[in-house]
Each structure stands twice: as structure tokens, then as C-alpha cells.
A and B are shown apart, each in its own frame.
Chain A
Amino acid sequence: MNIASSQQAPLLKISDLNAWYGESHVLHGIDLELGEGQLITLLGRNGAGRTTTLRAIMGMVDRRTGSILIHGDEFIDKPAHRIAHLGRIGYCPEERGIFATLNVEENLMLPPTVGEGGMSVAEIYDMFPNLKEVRKRMGTRLSGGEQQMLAIARILRTGARLLLLDEITEGLAPVIVKALSEAILDLKQRGYTIMLVEQNFRFAAPLADRHYVIENGKVIDRIEAGEVEAKMDRLNHYLSV
């Protein structure tokens, strides 16, 4: 491989990604790219295929084709349990995935380390002080906001550098959304690369470098942060129900 071009290459480059659940063909050729330290959002209506895009990256679909390059390495054929390690990825699922039979601390310590430089438990409790107070509580006995913080916190511990975050503001009170927005900004400043699936455009807009609009399993538009104001009408049209 050409070394010069691999250094230029984005951290993540997805081309013609197709994905299936059983017989049902859900993604029809997603193309997107994400540079190191950047934050992009996947916008779209419910059922557009944003969650499936993240799941396809993590190998959590029944079948996937196309290309997923991370630092120039092909991930499309990698087994699911190797992807987080090899790509240094942390995944925060839409339903949050807090384990009910594990307490907060066990949930926090569950994902294995995928690289050096993860946040220490102390740093994590610094960032999310609420979690420290409830650390012996079982996963089910947390509020929605606490669950969401835990779901993010546990992937920060692993040393992942690429974070896939699915609808982290969904159903949460405005003060918690604000806290999350500060946390994401903090993470961006620490150099994390982030892919954010969002419904809440007001939350996403000030954080993102670029937006991808997804519909019926395809990217139908790509809007740079600087173009948002000019293209606001178009965006509203895409996202209106």
C-alpha cells in the first residue's frame, strides 16, 4: 500500500455497505467517511437504517457486504468479537445495553480493554459523578440518565478511540442532555473520533463536523457543518415526519 495515501486516509471509510437481518435487506450501499478526531452524525427518520449502520460496523447483523476500512484495514470479513479490539472501537447501543444482572461497577468493568490510554475509573467518576454514588446498584435500578452515562462511561474505560453512539439523548430530561453535550465536547477535545446517531438536531448541530442524512438504507445527503444554515430548509424537510 502507498504509505503517503494511507496517512492521508480517513480513520474510517465505508463504501457500498449493504446489510441484512435474515432475509430482510436493510442497508443498500452506505458510503461515508470519518477523519481522525472528527465527529459526524447520522441523521434520518425512524427506520432509515442509522442503527443498522452502526450494528453493521460492529458485525451485529446477519450478513454484510461492501467495504469498511479502519486505518486502511478491511473489516468487512472480521468476526464480531475481534472488531472492537482491532479497530479500537467503543459501541454504545440505542437501547443502552446495561446488563440488569450486573451492578454499576460490574457493567463499567465488563468490556475488555482494546487499547492503551483508556480513562481510569477515577477519571470516569470525575466526568460522571452520579455514577460513583450508585456504583453498587444493579443495572436495572438506574434512571434513564444514569444508564446512558454508564453506557458511555464503560466504553471510555477500554481505550477505544472511535466511539459509535446511538441516540444517546433519547428520552432524557433537558438538564441531562446538556450534561451529555458537555461530555461529548470534552471527548472531542480529548481527540476521540465519534459517530453520533441523533434525532435531536439541536443537540448534534454544534458538535458535528459533518452530517449524513440517511433514508431507506442509503446516504441521500452530506452536509458540512459550515453549510448547515444555508441548507436548513432541506434538513428540516429530510427530518420532518
Chain B
Amino acid sequence: MLKLILAQGMLGLNNGVFYAMLSLGLAVIFGLLNVVNFAHGALYMSGAFLALILYSYLGVWIGLDDFHVNFWFALILVPSMVGGLGMIIERTLLKWLYRFDPIYSLLLTFGITLILQGLFINFFSASGTPYPGQPESLKGVVNLGFMVFPKYRLFAIVFSIAVCLAVWFVIERTRIGALLRAGTENPDLVKAFGINVPLMVTLTFGFGTALAGLAGVLAAPIYSVSPLMGADLIIIIFAVVVIGGMGSIMGSVVSGFALGLIEGVTKVFYAPAANTVIFFLMVVVLLVRPAGLFGRQT
């Protein structure tokens, strides 16, 4: 029984990786921009597709059938591309909406979601495509004592914990992070001190979306790459963000991993509840601590 719980816990943690990385990006963006980026799921999906395209299609398109951009390159390249796309979206579309009610930017990013999904459905069909580029070194399994666990999934867990810790460190312990925190509290004053806040906003949006792209690459070898993979996830991510506390960095990471774990363990006891337990917890948290577990209560 304990083994079963641990095993499901590990699988749940594996989902938690994606909850944590995506809600972290959402939290960073919401903190500074006050924008609920509905397109986050679609950008995650785009990240997975870009990894797939770089591996399976690019070579064919340019006439070099043996050319594959491998997983490790994709891990660097794709987040830059998705982050770049994010920055273009911010510069050309989002920035005009800051003056208005946040509902407008939410609707805009919802529209972007539909466009991205439509594009990928059009070119790749709605059903999933497996990503064949999983590195050789991460194939196979490791024995954890209580279960055998795919090497790659273990890598994904360790890697994303490292990424989350690194982001936390930058935000809480460096000057760039101090500027970001100050800008989140009082952007006008930070601007008056002489910081180019509009540029900071663009870079922050780019960074948050790059995290979504990174999560997409990490997900590609695990889940099949499909245009709706982000749509399924974004609703859960929103619940994670609400539970952690809107805009709280720590909250989004901790509740991302924790909720993945809880979801997994719930499967052991009552499998049908696994999909709803997160939303049940969200309702409870909203009733008890409306600003979320880590949010500042006002």
C-alpha cells in the first residue's frame, strides 16, 4: 500500500512539474503586469510543437532528411523562441490594454490562445503526435526502491525543481529581482527613480512565456504533442495559482508540486476524484483564505 502511494506520488509529482513551472510564469507575469495570461497554456503547447518541429520536420522542410535539432538544443532554443513571441505579443498587442480593466487583456490572451490552437490544428491535426527526440542517455528506467521510474521523468522532476529554485533565487535575492518586486508594488515610483519600466514589463512577459515554452519542451517526450494539450492544462494551472495566491512566486511553485502530489495520491484511494480534487481544494482555500495560501491578505 505504501509502495502504491509512493508510486502514485511520483507520477503525481511528475505532473506537478508542469503545474509549478506554468503557474510560476503566470505568477511572475500577473505580479508585474496585472495581466492574467490566458495564452500561457497555448504557449506551452507551442513550445512542445516547436521541439517536435525542430526534431522531426525542420530537416525535411529544408531538404536534409537526417537533420534533427536534438532535445538539448531545443531546451535552449525553444524557450527563446516562445519568449520572443511573448515579447512581440506584449509590444504589439498587450501594452495598449494596461490602461483598461484587466478583463480586456484576459480576453486578448484568450483570443491568442484560439489563434495558436487553430494554427496548429490546421497544420498538424488535433490528434497527438509523439516526440521521438528523447535523448538516448535518458531512456530506460531507474529503480527507486519502491518502484521503477522512467529516467526521463526523473530528469524532468529534478530539472524543473532546479529551474524553480533558480527563478526563486533571482527574484528574492538579486537586484533584478528587487526591481521586479518593487515594480510589482509601485511601478510609477520605480519609473520615477529612473528605471525603464515598460522595457522591464516586456522582458518579464518574455521571461514568463519562455518558462511556458520550456515546460512545453520538457513535456514533449512525456505526453503526446497535441494542439489542445495546453487547453487541458490551463484550467488546472489557474486553480493552482488561485490556491497558491495570485502573483505569489513561492505560492505557485509550492502549490504546483503539492497539488500534483495530492492528485497522484488521490488516485490510490479513489481514482475518479483525482481530476476534481484540485478544484475541491480551490473552493476550500477560497472560502478559508480568499487571497490564497501564500497571497498577502488585504
| Chain A residues in the interface with B (C-beta under 8 A) | 58-60, 80-85, 91, 93, 97, 99-102, 106, 109-112, 114, 158
Contacts and interface: CB of A to CB of B under 8 A. Distances in A.
A102 B192 contact: no
A81 B181 contact: no
A97 B188 CA distance: 10
B178 A106 contact: yes
Given A99-B185, A99-B186, A110 B191 contact: no
Interface string B19-30: 000000000000
Contacts of A85: 194
User: Which of the listed residues A80, A84, A158 has the most CB atoms from chain B within 10 Å of its own CB?
Assistant: A80
Interface of B: 175, 178-179, 181-182, 184-186, 188-198
Top 5 A-B pairs ranked by shortest CB distance?
A84-B194, A111-B193, A101-B181, A58-B192, A106-B178
Nearest to B174: A106
A116 to B, nearest CB: 15
A93 B194 contact: no
A81 B186 contact: no
Interface of A is mostly: loop
Contacts of A97: 186, 189
A112 B192 contact: no
Given A80-B192, A81-B194, A91-B192, 5 more contacts: A84-B193, A101-B181, A110-B178, A112-B194, A158-B193
Contacts of B196: 81
A60 B194 CA distance: 12
A99 B186 CA distance: 8
A80 B178 CA distance: 20
B31 to A, nearest CB: 10
A237 to B, nearest CB: 34
Contacts of B195: 81, 112
A101 B182 CA distance: 7
A228 to B, nearest CB: 31
B182 A110 contact: yes
Contact of A100 (B175, B185, B198): B185
Contacts of A111: 193-194
A158 B198 CA distance: 21
Nearest to B192: A58
Contacts of B193: 84, 91, 110-112, 158
Contact of A93 (B184, B189, B191): B189
A106 B188 CA distance: 18
7 contacts: A59-B192, A81-B195, A81-B197, A82-B194, A91-B189, A99-B181, A109-B175
A101 B181 CA distance: 7
Contact of A99 (B182, B191, B192, B198): B182
